[in-house]
Amino acid sequence: MLADEMRACTRCAELAATRTQVVVGSGPSDARLVVVGEAPGAVEDETGTPFVGRSGQLLDRLLAEAGLSRTDVAVINTVKCRPPGNRVPSRAETANCRPWTTRQLEELRPSLVVTLGLSASSWFLGKTTLGAVRGIVHEVDGRRVLPTYHPAAALRGGPRGEAMTRLREDLALAVRLVS
Ligand code: URA
Ligand code: SF4
């Protein structure tokens, strides 16, 4: 099984040595919506489930507001192992993990992918800025991809709570598109 193969992966020597476990993903295998984040944080590394810390709780709340339960959504990260100190994953780590993510997407066959933050958005769209691509449905390799802000950015606040407002709008659009 793909998940078992992933759990045994040691392609990134540092991450394989420092992780508690590989965070494969969560949610139903027939989910219409797949949410893609960057990499596990401390709570995810401990529990083995993506987006269960503060960012995850915000994600769950905004999805619920839009009318979709988190349990109906599949959630994965572009990098499956926690980078020490939550540093941004290196290009090499993202490249190492890319084939796993590709296989997950092939198995999941979502109707829509929502990417949270620049890392996940660039995974699909290449080098870009979030401001240029967010809130718009892009077609990438026959897949619909809707980039938005990372919940961590929304939690940090910023000018007039812009990231929170946009994240809420974009998740509401995502729910409409898969309903
Ligand atoms: N941030 C992410 O990008 N992914 C997680 O799983 C948790 C926090
Ligand atoms: Fe393997 Fe991905 Fe973990 Fe790197 S981050 S060790 S490629 S599962």
- In the chain, domain spans: 2-178
Q: What is the pLDDT of residue 13?
A: 98
Best CATH choice for the domain 2-178 from the list 3.40.470.10, 3.10.20.90, 3.40.50.300, 1.20.1560.10: 3.40.470.10
What is the pTM (predicted TM-score) of this model? 0.97
Task: For residues 4-18, give the mean pLDDT.
Answer: 98
Residue 7 has pLDDT above 80, yes or no: yes
Q: What is the pLDDT of residue 103?
A: 98
Q: What is the pLDDT of residues 53-95, one digit of tens each?
A: 999 999 999 999 999 999 999 999 999 999 999 999 999 999 9
Q: What is the pLDDT of residue 159?
A: 72
Q: What is the pLDDT of residues 96-138, one digit of tens each?
A: 999 999 999 999 999 999 999 999 999 999 999 999 999 999 9
Q: What is the pLDDT of residue 160?
A: 76
Q: What is the pLDDT of residue 172?
A: 98
Tell how far CA 78 is from the center of its chain.
7
Mutate to test the pocket of ligand 2, among 18, 38, 100 (most ligand atoms within 8 A of CB): 100
> Which of left, alpha, beta for 51 (phi over 0: left; psi -120 to 50: alpha)?
left
State if residue 77 touches ligand 1 by the CB under 6 angstroms criterion: yes
DSSP string, the chain: -HHHHHHT--SSHHHHHH-SS----BS-TT-SEEEEES---HHHHHHS-SS-SHHHHHHHHHHHHHT--GGGSEEEESS-SPPGGGPPPPHHHHHHHHHHHHHHHHHH--SEEEEEHHHHHHHHH-S--HHHHTTS-EEETTEEEEEE--HHHHHH--GGGHHHHHHHHHHHHHHHHH-
Q: Give the pLDDT band of residue 157 (cuts 50, 70, 90).
A: confident
Q: What is the pLDDT of residue 168?
A: 98
State if residue 12 touches ligand 2 by the CB under 6 angstroms criterion: yes
User: Which residue, among 135, 171, 153, 131, has the nearest Cα to 55 in the 3D structure?
Assistant: 153
Range with the lowest mean pLDDT among 41-45, 101-105, 129-133, 160-164?
Answer: 160-164
Q: What is the pLDDT of residue 146?
A: 99
Task: Look over the chain and give the mean of its residue pLDDT values, rounded to a whole number.
Answer: 97
User: Which residue, among 99, 108, 88, has the nearest Cα to 150 in the 3D structure?
Assistant: 88
Ligand number with the minimum distance to the CA of 96: 2
